[in-house]
């Protein structure tokens, strides 16, 4: 399988990465090189094989459903590029 220019633009948008028109051919070439490389997996017989979901066989750990953290709003917003009080500021999303 290989990707065309339109697919590259679609993937970039899904990945939320702005891509300029002159970057598309280069990216297309690189992505197709990677896809050509992984193509060899199609020769493996995977009939009846379970897909791996956990590399170490283990039960998912659970903890008590209680508050064990919090009251650190200053820490949470400390690295934000734009804040007001304890809120993150973003461009208007509702017209």
Among 21, 22, 49, 84, the residue binding other proteins under the rule CB under 8 A is: 49
What is the rounded CA–CA span in Å between residue 61 and residue 68?
16
Among 21, 38, 66, 85, the residue binding other proteins under the rule CB under 8 A is: 38
Residue 92 CA, distance from chain mean position = 24
Compose the 52-91 pattern: x for residues touching other proteins by CB under 8 A, - for all others: xxxxx-x-xx-x--------x--xxxxxxxx-----x-xx
Among 21, 22, 50, 65, the residue binding other proteins under the rule CB under 8 A is: 50
Q: Does the protein bind other proteins through residue 17 (CB under 8 A)?
A: yes
Residue pair 35/11 in contact by the 8 Å Cβ criterion = no
Residue with tokens 């990216």: 27
């Amino acid at each position: 399988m290989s990707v065309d220019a339109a697919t590259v633009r679609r993937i970039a948008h899904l990945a939320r990465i702005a891509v300029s028109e002159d970057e598309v051919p280069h990216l297309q070439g690189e992505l197709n090189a990677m896809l050509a490389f992984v193509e060899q997996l199609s020769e493996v017989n995977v009939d009846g094989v379970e897909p791996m979901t956990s590399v170490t066989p283990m039960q998912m750990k659970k903890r008590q459903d209680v508050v064990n953290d919090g009251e650190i709003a200053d820490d949470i917003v400390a690295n934000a590029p734009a804040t007001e009080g304890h809120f993150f500021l973003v461009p208007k999303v509702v017209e």
